[in-house]
Structure 1
Amino acid sequence: MKVLSKRKRNWRPNAYYHVVMRGNNRQNIFSSEEDMYHLMRCISHAAERYRFALIAFCIMTNHFHLLIRSEDDLSLIMRQINRRYSDYYSKRYRHVGRIYQSRYFAKEVDTPQALLAVSRYIHRNPIETKIPMVDRLTDYPFSSFPSYDAGTISSLTFIDTHSILQYLPPPFEKTSSGYVTYCLHEIDELLSMEEYMG
């Protein structure tokens, strides 16, 4: 009987990818703050071994998002992150079987406008839920958004808070505070600005 092999993913070094990993059957795989902090540790461990940077990330209860640019093979990076977290989860909760819905989703983000839109979408996850998880995005510790806040000193060495700033459109300043303001605007406000700026 012929065994079907998994289709090889398209991946280009130093291209940007929006990566999403979901819990099996959309079930929660982050049941506590410690779980979310542990995933962040898994990402940090992967950053010690592989060359990559995150423009944005956000951990929710049943999935997480990464906007990543890597020199090393993305599949190797994700394999380490997912395996470390899965081992932790299985041990902590005595879980048997897989915790992820399937292989991670990855889509190349190939324009500056898309990069801004995807990063904004990722960062706004905690306030786009039916019941917002926080009042202010800078108060959500399980995303890269606080790293863009000028008043925050981030210890996350794998976060690249500079590359995206060059793509901010007028009237936003090409600074971290300009990016924060951009993300906090509603989509209809951004569209109105685009029309006004022509």
Structure 2
Amino acid sequence: MGRNRRIWNPDAYEHVVMRGNNRQPIFQDESDIDAFIRVLAYAHEKYPFTILAYCLMTNHYHLLIRSPEVPLGKLMALINKRYSDYAKKKYHYSGYFYESRYYAGKAITHKSILAVSRYIHRNPINTLNPMVAEMKEYPHSSYRFYADSSCPPYEFLDLSYMPTILPRPYSKCIAGYLMYCEEPDPPELERIGVK
């Protein structure tokens, strides 16, 4: 039986998750993270896209991404192929680099966009053994840029949108967004399914 055809909506954000084959590491050191960011920058030059949140873990990554100009599948094929080519060459790896095709779940409402971004940013502290004490300490996530209130270091990263869609009682500012992410169970948190 064939795989279901993905439906592209150029206006929708999607929660993309990509895992290493057999859950093996896809990022083994800092240079791999840098290479992946370079791949994103290269892909952005070819097919402009927007990321609201990302988190690069050892054996998988999360993106909250919108691809308005080309179908998401075309963009992800470019990103995943370029990075796997880099990693396979560096680590003399043969065979399947990724577990399967990427997971993508649409985040269309403000509630679902917020919930997905919160889920992505909490990944390093929601593991069995938290990787850091606070989300802002994790170096491979967009959360640190929100926490520092810094200008986005990458053209594809938009830090201005999330605060504008916060529900009450949160202030529509970066501090309000940080509070939303850091609270154990925000009142507006919508359940999301993650593969």
Q: Using structure 2 for the length normalisation, give the TM-score.
A: 0.90
Partner of 2:37: 40
1:49 and 1:141 mapped to 2: Cα distance? Answer: 27
Q: Deviations over 1:164-197 (max 9, x none)?
A: 222212221111121112111111xx2399xxxx
Q: 1:186 to 1:32 in 2, by over 3 A?
A: same
* Cα displacement (A) at 1:118: 0.7
Within-5 A mapping of 1:66-85: 66-71=63-68, 72-85=70-83
| Other-structure match for 2:192 | none
Tell me what 2:144 maps to: 146
Secondary structure at 2:17's aligned position in 1?
strand
Separation in structure 2 between the aligned mates of residue 177 and residue 154 of structure 1, nearest angstrom:
16
Question: Does structure 1 residue 181 correspond to structure 2 residue 186?
Answer: no
* CA deviation vs aligned residue, 1:140-167 (integer Å, no higher than 9, x gap): 2211112212443431111111222222
Tell me if 1:11 matches 2:8.
Answer: yes
Comparing 132-141 with 69-78, greater Cα deviation is found at 132-141
| Partner-residue secondary structure (3-state), 1:82 | helix
CA contact (8 A) 1:150 1:176 kept: no
- Give the Cα separation in 1 of the matches to 2:71 and 2:88: 26
Q: How many residues are aligned here?
A: 188
Q: Pick the aligned partner of 1:135 from 129, 133, 136.
A: 133
**Which structure features the higher share of helix residues?**
1
Distance 2:188 2:58 in 1: 33
CA RMSD of aligned residues (A): 1.8
Q: SS at the partner of 1:21? A: strand
Q: State whether residues 124 and 131 of structure 2, in contact with CA within 8 Å, keep that contact through their aligned partners in structure 1.
A: yes
Q: Which runs of 4+ in 1 moved over 6 A?
A: none
Instruction: Quote the residue 1:53 is aligned against.
Output: 50
CA deviations over 1:109-158 (Å, ceiling 9, x no partner): 12111111110000010111122112221122211112212443431111
Counterpart of 2:123 in 1: which secondary structure?
A: helix
Look up the SS of the partner of 1:54 in the other structure.
Answer: strand
Matched, 1:191 2:191: no
Percent identity reads 45
List aligned pairs for 1:105-124, cutoff 5 A: 105-124=103-122
TM-score where L is the length of structure 1: 0.88
Q: Write the distance in 2 (CA, Å) between the matches of 1:152 and 1:138.
A: 13
| Letter of the structure 2 residue corresponding to residue 96 of structure 1 | S
Q: Gaps spanning 5+ residues in structure 1: where?
A: 194-198
Q: Which moved more, 1:62-71 or 1:130-139?
A: 130-139
Comparing 156-165 and 4-13, the one that deviates more:
4-13
Secondary structure in structure 2 of the residue aligned to 1:191:
coil
Q: Which runs of 5+ in 2 are unaligned?
A: 190-195
Q: Does 1:167 align with 2:165?
A: yes
Equivalents in 2 of 1:110, 1:153: separation in Å?
A: 26
Matched to 1:69, the amino acid is R
Q: Which amino acid aligns with 2:89?
A: K
Kindly tell me: are residues 181 and 47 of structure 1, through their superposed partners in 2, closer, same or farther at Cα, counting changes over 3 Å?
same
3-state DSSP of counterpart to 1:127 = coil
